[in-house]
Amino acid sequence: MRPLPSPGDAVAAIDTPALVIDLDAMERNLAAMAAFARDHGVRLRPHAKMHKCAAIARLQMAAGAVGVCVQKTSEAEALADAGIADIYISNEVVDPVKLARVAALARRVRLAIAIDSVAGVERLAAAVAAAGSRIEVLVEVDVGHGRCGAPAAAAGQLAQRVVSHAPPEGGLVFAGLQAYHGAAQHLRGAAEREAAAHHAAALARAAQAAMGALGIACPLVTGAGTGTFAYDAASGIWGELQAGSYLFMDRDYADNAPTPGAPRFEHALFVKSQIMSRGAAHAVVDAGHKSHAIDSGLPQVWQRELDYANGGDEHGIVRVRVGSGTAELPELGATVWLVPGHCDPTVNLHEHYVAVRGGLAGGTVESVWPIEARGCVS
């Protein structure tokens, strides 16, 4: 293990490549989303699949979040082990061995999970019965993403199946509807996102009606991401927002046209890199795609008129942007800050965050946080 930075170290001394949080920017993002949820009378349950870190989950909960979401059983276990006590697995689990872990975890923390099939309900009910635990269950409906989720018309029957395993005989507590439209989040135009969110709202309403037709009240609709949360909150349907990326704001999200009237978020997550080689017309940084994910495009060089090109696993090529009059290639050893294209899989590449106060240029290290759920993909 290489030595970690210590609180009080200068930002300039952080070894590269490193995953660095600008705490001042992150706290502004945190406060803006917390205020939005408060002002709109909706709960906030941020998605911790994004940061995978208990220290950050605690900050979100201290600012008013009711708990966190995760996608994976092992993520839930890692965050529970690190002290997070209210977790929602906003995803389906059908493997019996994994369900036994879910049911065991439900004895330790307040746990919820999504289902989208009758078999999924029955397997979950059996696991929970064997463990003697209780779990909240959300029926997932496909509201436009075309991934998991039952058709809206099937929501009533699924909810009924959950209710058939209600306490005291069973361990499933029906908790509402999971409705997340992932494909809407990165539609670039605000009007396009609004239209997709309206479509999702109509499907969520249809799912509620299907439950109502069987005499089942839907206590909560939960979902929403950084691209649509303002439209979802305005619909009056969603009672809980699951946005995650707002906290770090990656390059891909910054490429969205802003949502009118919604809070704006700042880049708060960076990869610190260093120029390790120089040619006549290019320079090479020590951060390639083992340091940042490239599924949503290459990183942006922060506040410099330089473009980043893929240099492979451990390298990135930087060149002066065509048409930029005065920009020069950085010197050997110079620091180059990269804004990752996609925060979630970038975080999954690192062991720690180095959280800095006072800016990237002259600040100091305040904390080093372990990324407890890094690598928890099962």
Ligand X SMILES: Cc1ncc(COP(=O)(O)O)c(C=O)c1O
Residues forming the site for ligand X (CB under 6 A): 47, 50, 69, 90, 180, 182, 185, 225-226, 242-245
CA 52 to chain centre: 8
Q: Closest distance between ligand X and the C-beta of residue 360, in Å?
A: 23
Nearer to ligand X, 53 or 336 (CB): 53
Nearer to ligand X, 29 or 273 (CB): 29
Q: How is residue 235 annotated by DSSP?
A: T
Nearer to ligand X, 182 or 370 (CB): 182
Q: Closest distance between ligand X and the C-beta of residue 95, in Å?
A: 19
Closest CA to 59 of 345, 374, 338, 367: 367
Q: Closest distance between ligand X and the C-beta of residue 147, in Å?
A: 9
Please give the Cα distance from 150 to 148 (Å, whole number): 7
CA 257 to chain centre: 20
Q: Closest distance between ligand X and the C-beta of residue 130, in Å?
A: 27
Q: Closest distance between ligand X and the C-beta of residue 49, in Å?
A: 6
CA angle (302, 306, 309) in 5-degree steps: 100
Please give the Cα distance from 277 to 314 (Å, whole number): 13
Q: Closest distance between ligand X and the C-beta of residue 128, in Å?
A: 22
Nearer to ligand X, 77 or 142 (CB): 142
The answer for residues whose C-beta is within 8 angstroms of residue 97's C-beta and 6 or more apart is none
Q: How is residue 287 annotated by DSSP?
A: -
Nearer to ligand X, 11 or 124 (CB): 124
Q: Closest distance between ligand X and the C-beta of residue 185, in Å?
A: 5
- H helix runs in the chain, sequence order: 23-39, 54-62, 73-81, 96-105, 118-131, 155-163, 190-213, 229-234, 251-254, 343-347, 359-362
Residue 166 burial (C-beta neighbours within 10 Å; 0-12, 13-18, 19+): middle
Residue 89 burial (C-beta neighbours within 10 Å; 0-12, 13-18, 19+): buried
201 half-sphere exposure, CB direction, 13 A CA radius: 18
Nearer to ligand X, 170 or 182 (CB): 182
Nearer to ligand X, 242 or 300 (CB): 242
Q: Closest distance between ligand X and the C-beta of residue 25, in Å?
A: 17
Please give the Cα distance from 101 to 73 (Å, whole number): 8
Please give the Cα distance from 156 to 242 (Å, whole number): 23
In the bound complex, which residue of the shown chain has the CB atom lying closest to ligand X?
225
Q: Closest distance between ligand X and the C-beta of residue 70, in Å?
A: 10
Nearer to ligand X, 149 or 330 (CB): 149
Nearer to ligand X, 22 or 344 (CB): 344
**Helices 96-105 and 118-131, packing angle to 10 deg:** 50
